[in-house]
Amino acid sequence: MGATHLPSTEFDGTAVDDQLEADAEAAQGQPATEMVQLLGPDGKLGTDPVFTEYADRLDAGKLRGFYSDMAAIRRFDQEATALQRQGQLALWVPLTGQEAAQIGSGRASQPQDYIFPTYREHGVALTRNVDLAELLRQFRGVSNGGWNPKDTNFHLYTLVLAAQTPHAVGYAMGIQRDQQLAEARAAENPQVEGSQPAEPKAAVVVYFGDGASSEGDVHESMVFAASYNAPVVFFCQNNHWAISVPTAVQTRIPLSNRAKGYGFPGIRVDGNDVIAVHAVTEWALEHAREGKGPVLIEAFTYRVGAHTTADDPTKYRESSEEELWRAKDPLERLEKYLRTEGLAGDAFFEQVKADGNELAAYVRKTTHDLETPDIRTAFANTYVEAHPLVAEELAWFEEYSAGFAGEATEEEAGH
Amino acid sequence: MTTMTIAKAINEGLRATLSNNPKTLLMGEDIGPLGGVYRVTDGLIKEFGADRVVDTPLAESGIIGTAIGLALRGYLPVCEIQFDGFVFPGFNQITTQLAKMHARSNGNLTVPVVIRIPYGGGIGSIEHHSESPEALFAHTAGLRIITPSNPHDAYWMIQQAVDCQDPVIVFEPKRRYWLKGEVDTESSGLAEDPFKAHVIREGTDATVVVYGPLVPVALAAANAAAEDGRSVEVIDLRSISPIDFDTVTDSVKKTGRLIVAHEAPTFGGIGGEIAARISERAFHSLEAPVIRVGGFHMPYPVAKVEEDYLPDIDRILEALDRALAY
Ligand SMILES: Cc1ncc(C[n+]2csc(CCOP(=O)(O)OP(=O)(O)O)c2C)c(N)n1
């Protein structure tokens, strides 16, 4: 892997970084931290022996699309933060700084792939055509989900850290089995072969953070994925902070190195470089769909803002660190590239801005309109099949509520 | 009608479900060539292959978590947890994920995962191999919890659990795995609601409600009481969540006295739930307070003293005496 850049601020300073790399090198007998980067902060495109080929597949339209997606989701993020400040959302989990990691990876997936997010993957949701207003239901407190995952193959957010990682592996094992069943059926009826187009091969992408990487579920998932060669891509967004705890407390080696321990490839990619993230994820998904097994991608990025709207990052980190990362902004570097290469000009960027404002207005309006559900839907959805306890409690609730309805009419009647 | 043990009946039930539905698969530690530590899955890997009877890595959260993913993809996983005390590494997945997936998806997703757990004491085993954690799961909405007490039920209930669209935990009374009984493999003989409680012995003086491993104990107690001229009705609950309160209420209206017995600690247990419900539903029929018989509030004790811990015939008879004394 021809990496040209080394990470600048993992943990707190190069001394520690060097020490870690030396340790890792000693432990593994090979270089620890190479990071795939194609588009640098200066907006110049470099080369990579493996991934340039993937970058070459991108035409001007796709690259402009990456930019407009990243700009749209950043604008959405600002709007949702504002909505939270206005009391319209109970909480918001901002993604600013992680747009390239999310748009690059999300755009690399195909419709037949299935995505398991954590709770910050609004950019990935955008690439899967999830209605962003629906995404806000959970944060407005009108749903614990908010969208039907079957519509977009984008699963519900998960708040218990890492709990979704084994689900992703199980789902991938299901894809694998479906494929085997289809092949067995085709072998039984060879005459049908060719007359029907085969289902496109699918894979799963599961997102989690550097903090979540410490949870036992990630370990168990990687063991299962490796044992069964499941078509799953583990996508870790190392945004450097788990609320107030730095990555150094979660790991002594680059997270991508952990994959070696499980026996599958691990790649560290510049998470602020949308072109590299897209290339690496496309490679990993192809690898998985072809039956070659799991891949771990560590997107090396930074959460520029607070963890959530309830958090105060000034208590645990220096603003200079944020500044350092702002200089690596994923949108700015793509804009530089598009402009210098003559792929986009003022008109394009103005249009993107206008579209962003339109999206914000839509989200603002639809958030106010999000309906509060009737608690009866919770009674209805606790179990699939009839349940006497639920029926009994619902009947009690109806009777109890009916009592108040009587009171209200009496009050209205002036009694 | 064939005679078999509970372990064999579950084995046959699993065999039937694997044959009938290509989407069913078994997952668990040592369930393949070994057939599980209790041999409940004996021979199934030979018949259905390693893809349908999956020897998993040693990881309970991984087993249940991946089963959730498989269920989301349309499969029907039946997970085996090796022993009751080892379900806890998977507790997070069961309570925060499995139980809630249907509700939080607004009814769009179903996760029909079955989890089989051998439970209860009386086998002289060491720490963590004799526990009865059913109340911890029953408290969580979204899960169904059942426990067979005889081979016929065991054969049919495991198949009904797989057919159920909700997640089901099957607590298998491990000290009764070798209990023999008749199984009618042609017909379950069950009404619409397969998990209704069964009145397994009729009586008029008091009702004893039990489930799983304590069913034979309660029957023996009822027989002993009969010698003293007392007529005891025995109900096998069969389903712990939901509980068939109607059957219990009807019985208490007839007998006026209720004793609930289980191996799990009394405090915070299923017996308390039944006592409270029945006091609400049949207060005027009760001639005595509902009496609970259960384990003590202590970690499951060492095997050498488990006989003192486990409710036995005498403890049930003592409770009966107290109830009748009112
Ligand atoms: C099991 C669990 N423990 C604790 C929390 C509380 N919590 C929410 S987010 C968070 C930090 C997560 O950090 P990371 O995995 O790096 O993801 P990021 O939020 O930075 O994207 C914590 C501790 C939780 N949601 N789940």
pLDDT digits (tens, 9 = 90+) for B113-141: 999 999 999 999 999 999 999 999 999 99
pLDDT value for A4: 41
Mean pLDDT of chain B: 96
pLDDT digits (tens, 9 = 90+) for A215-248: 999 999 999 999 999 999 999 999 999 999 999 9
Q: What token pair was written down for A351?
A: 């249009």
The finding on whether A303 has its CB within 6 A of some atom of ligand 1 is: yes
Please tell me the distance in Å from A118's CA to the nearest CA on chain B: 13
C-beta of residue B261 within 8 angstroms of C-beta of residue B218:
yes
Mean pLDDT of B69-91: 97
* CB contact (8 A) between residue B102 and residue A381: yes
Predicted confidence band of residue A190 (pLDDT cuts 50, 70, 90): confident
H/E run at residue B258: strand B258-265
Contact between A377 and A137 (Cβ < 8 Å):
no
Cβ atoms of B2 and B183 within 8 Å: the answer is yes
- Torsion region of B318: left, alpha or beta (phi above 0 gives left; psi -120 to 50 gives alpha): alpha
Query: Rounded to an integer, what distance in angstroms lies between the CA atom of residue A282 and that of residue A382?
Result: 38
Q: Which residue has the tokens 């958030």?
A: A367
Strands B53-55 and B76-80, sheet pairing: unpaired
pLDDT of residue B247 exceeding 50, the answer is: yes
Distance of alpha carbon A359 from alpha carbon A136, whole angstroms:
13
Mean pLDDT of chain A: 90
| One-letter identity of residue A168 | A
A393 touches chain B (CB under 8 A): no
pLDDT at residue A415 is higher than 90: no
Residue A197, pLDDT > 70, answer: no
Q: Once rounded to an integer, what is the mean pLDDT over residues B199-218?
A: 98
- Per-residue confidence (pLDDT) for residue B26, from 0 to 100: 98
Confidence band of A28 (pLDDT split at 50, 70, 90): very low
* Chain A residues with CB-CB distance to B103 below 8 A: 144, 378, 381-382
Euclidean distance between CA atoms B134 and B171, whole angstroms: 8
CA angle B122, B257, B228 (to 5 degrees): 70
**Exposure of B90 by Cβ count < 10 A (0-12 exposed, 13-18 middle, 19+ buried)?**
buried
**Whether A169 contacts chain B with CB within 8 A:** yes
In the reported structure, the alpha carbon of residue A165 is separated from the centroid of ligand 1 by a whole-number distance in angstroms of 14
Adjacent-strand bridge partners of A143: none
Asked, as a colleague might, if the bond just before B151 is cis with ω within 30 of 0, I would say no
Count of positions (residues) in chain A? 415
Give yes or no for B247 touching A (CB within 8 A).
no
Percent of chain A whose predicted confidence (pLDDT) is above 70 = 88
State the average pLDDT over residues A387-403.
93
Whole-number pLDDT of residue A20: 42
Torsion, CA B73, CA B76, CA B82, CA B84, rounded to 10: 100
What number is the average pLDDT over the span A242-264?
A: 96
- Nearest by Cα to B168 from B272, B61, B242, B271: B242
* Mean pLDDT on B235-244: 98
Per-residue model confidence (pLDDT) at position B191:
67
Average confidence (pLDDT) over B137-147: 98
Distances (CA, A) of A25 to A29, A34, B201: 5, 12, 72
Confidence of residue A23 (pLDDT cuts 50, 70, 90): very low
pLDDT score recorded for residue B193: 76
| Any ligand 1 atom below 6 A from CB of A209 | yes
Question: Is B129 noted as a catalytic residue in this protein?
Answer: yes
Q: What is the 3 state secondary structure string of B103-165?
A: HHCCCCCCCCCEEEEEECCCCCCCCCCCCCCHHHHHCCCCCEEECCCCHHHHHHHHHHHHHCC
Q: pLDDT band for position A185 (50/70/90)?
A: confident
Those residues whose C-beta lies under 8 Å from the C-beta of residue A34, and which sit 6 or more positions away, are A1, A3, A268
Which burial class, exposed, middle or buried, applies to A77 when counting CB atoms under 10 A from its CB (0-12, 13-18, 19+)?
buried
| Model pLDDT, residue B188 | 86
Model confidence at A13, pLDDT cuts 50, 70, 90, reads very low
Q: What is the pLDDT of residues A77-132, one digit of tens each?
A: 999 999 999 999 999 999 999 999 999 999 999 999 999 999 999 999 999 999 99
DSSP B180: E
For the segment B192-200, the average pLDDT, to the nearest whole number, is 88
Residue closest to B90 by CA, chosen among B119, B112, B68: B68
Cβ contacts of B299 within 8 Å, gap of 6 or more: B127
How would residue A30 be classed by pLDDT, with cut points 50, 70 and 90?
very low
Residue from A288, A313, A289, A291 nearest A303 by CA = A313
Helix (H) or strand (E) segment spanning residue B248: helix B245-255
Residue A25 has pLDDT above 50, yes or no: no
Note the pLDDT of residue A16. Answer: 40
Q: Please report, as a single letter, which amino acid is at residue A104.
A: G
Q: Between B69, B112, B241, which is nearest A166 by CB?
A: B69
- Taking only the tens place, the pLDDT of each residue in A151-165 is 999 999 999 999 999
Residue that is written with structure tokens 């104990």 in the block:
B217
Measured between CB atoms, does A394 come within 8 Å of chain B? Answer: no
